[in-house]
Each structure stands twice: as structure tokens, then as C-alpha cells.
Homo-oligomer: A and B are copies of this chain.
Amino acid sequence: MSDNEDKALPIDRRIEADITRAIYDQRMPPGTRLSEERLGELYEVSRTVVRKALFQLSSRKLVEIRPNRGARVAQPSAAQAREVFAARATLEAAMLEESMTRLTPADIAALRDTLAHDHDTPTDEADAAESIAESGDFHRALARLHGNTVLQEFLDELIGQTSLIIALYRPRDAALCSHDAHDALLDAIEAGDAATARRAMRAHLMACLDALELDPPQPAALADMLGRAR
């Protein structure tokens, strides 16, 4: 009875879900090799079904499959990172603006509850992973209020990719997409009109993007590290 959590969903879906969760929770860093045979023996299943799961994951851009070279957890480039955030800004701003007419005070209260619940966690150390996951949840909850499941699912994909981007490009200490930022965003939503909310959302996402360290970490500074070479 306490064997697997979801008993109904097929084994390949379970593998997919497990890897997805591991990526979201920052346990599987970008670049991690995903050997078909290894995964197969882990789940006691043939490579056939593992391959199926890996292909599904690659269609969501969470893993990258290079021909004859196997699958790895994807490593989005800086350019891709910028595009994902730009896409999120466009999409989430538009969705929020359209939601504004329908947004009830109860909706906003519910969102605040989610945030308050998160405030308990100290946000101190390496549980930044949890903070990132919760940030995603907030954006997902906001999108759900819009009501369009097609856009919801697409945003889900983008948020998933954002996990990888943050894992790759977040500076050592900086907390990203802080709860405070979400609080401020909610304030703007509550107080302002549609256009204001739209701008606030875009500003928030662009701030998150700016907090990243997308520029290469000194690729040519090698000489310096070797003393007074060259």
C-alpha cells in the first residue's frame, strides 16, 4: 500500500515524473548523464521504456539527446535563457492583464496565503532549491486563474526550463525571484489596473533575468590565474 505514490500511472510516466521532479528540486544538475541501462536497472525495466521516458523529457527540453551520445539533463545556453525569460514576460504579462477583470479579492488572498506559507522557511542556505520550486508554484497559481489550459501547460514547460536556467546561472548567494518580489507584485496587482499589473509582471521577470550571471565567467582570464603569464 505504501509502495509507490501514484499506482495508476504507467512506469514510463513515473520515470518521467521522477526525473522532472529531481530537476525541479535541483537535485539533478544540468549536464547529468542519464544512462539508459542504468535507469533501466534502477526501475527494473528494459531500455525500451527508459528511452520512451527520455524522449518525452527531451520534447519538454528538460533533457538533451545527442545522437549516439546519450541523454543528459539539458544545459540551456545564455541565449536560450534570455529567450525563455522574454517568452515568460510576454506570456505571463498578457495572461495577467487578461485575468485582471476576473480577479477577485479571494483569489488574491489565496495567492497571499501561498506566499505566507513560504515565508516560514528561513531561505537561509541550500534550501534555495525549495524556494525556487515555490516561486514556480506562485507563477503557476497565477496562470491558473487565467483559465486557459493550453497556455497553462506551455507556461509549465517554460517554468521547468527556468529551473535549469537558475541552476546554471544563479550567482552563488543571490536569492532569485524572492518572496518579497512576489509580495510586491501582488500589491501592484491589487492596487493597480490591467496595464499596471502587466508592467509589474514584466518588470518582475526582467529583474529575475538581470539577477543572473549570464555572461561567461571570464573565459580568457586563465592567464591571470597562472600568475604573470603571457
**Which residues of A approach B to under 8 Å, CB–CB?**
10, 52, 55-56, 59, 67, 80, 83-84, 86-87, 90-91, 93-95, 98, 148-151, 154, 158
Residues of B within 8 A of A149 (CB): 83
The 3 lowest CB-CB distance pairs between A and B, nearest first, are: A94-B94, A87-B150, A59-B59
- A84 contacts B150, C-beta separation under 8 Å: yes
* In-complex Cβ contact of A148 among B67, B90, B148, B154 (8 A): B90
Cα distance, A141 to B59, chains bound together (Å): 24
Cα distance, A59 to B154, chains bound together (Å): 12
* In-complex Cβ contact of A52 among B55, B80, B95 (8 A): B55
* In-complex Cβ contact of A94 among B52, B55, B93 (8 A): B93
Cα distance, A90 to B149, chains bound together (Å): 13
* In-complex Cβ contact of A59 among B10, B56, B90 (8 A): B56
Cα distance, A94 to B93, chains bound together (Å): 9
* In-complex Cβ contact of A154 among B10, B94, B154 (8 A): B154
Residues of B within 8 A of A86 (CB): 148, 150
Question: Smallest CB–CB gap between A198 and chain B, Å?
Answer: 9
- B55 contacts A151, C-beta separation under 8 Å: no
* In-complex Cβ contact of A150 among B10, B148, B158 (8 A): B158
- B94 contacts A90, C-beta separation under 8 Å: yes
Residues of B within 8 A of A59 (CB): 56, 59
Cα distance, A56 to B205, chains bound together (Å): 31
- Chain B residue with Cβ nearest A52: B55
- What would 29 A/B residue contacts be, using CB atoms closer than 8 Å? A10-B67, A52-B55, A55-B55, A56-B59, A59-B59, A80-B150, A83-B148, A83-B149, A83-B150, A84-B150, A86-B148, A86-B150, A87-B148, A87-B150, A87-B151, A87-B154, A90-B91, A90-B94, A90-B95, A90-B98, A90-B148, A90-B151, A91-B91, A91-B94, A91-B151, A93-B94, A94-B94, A150-B158, A154-B154
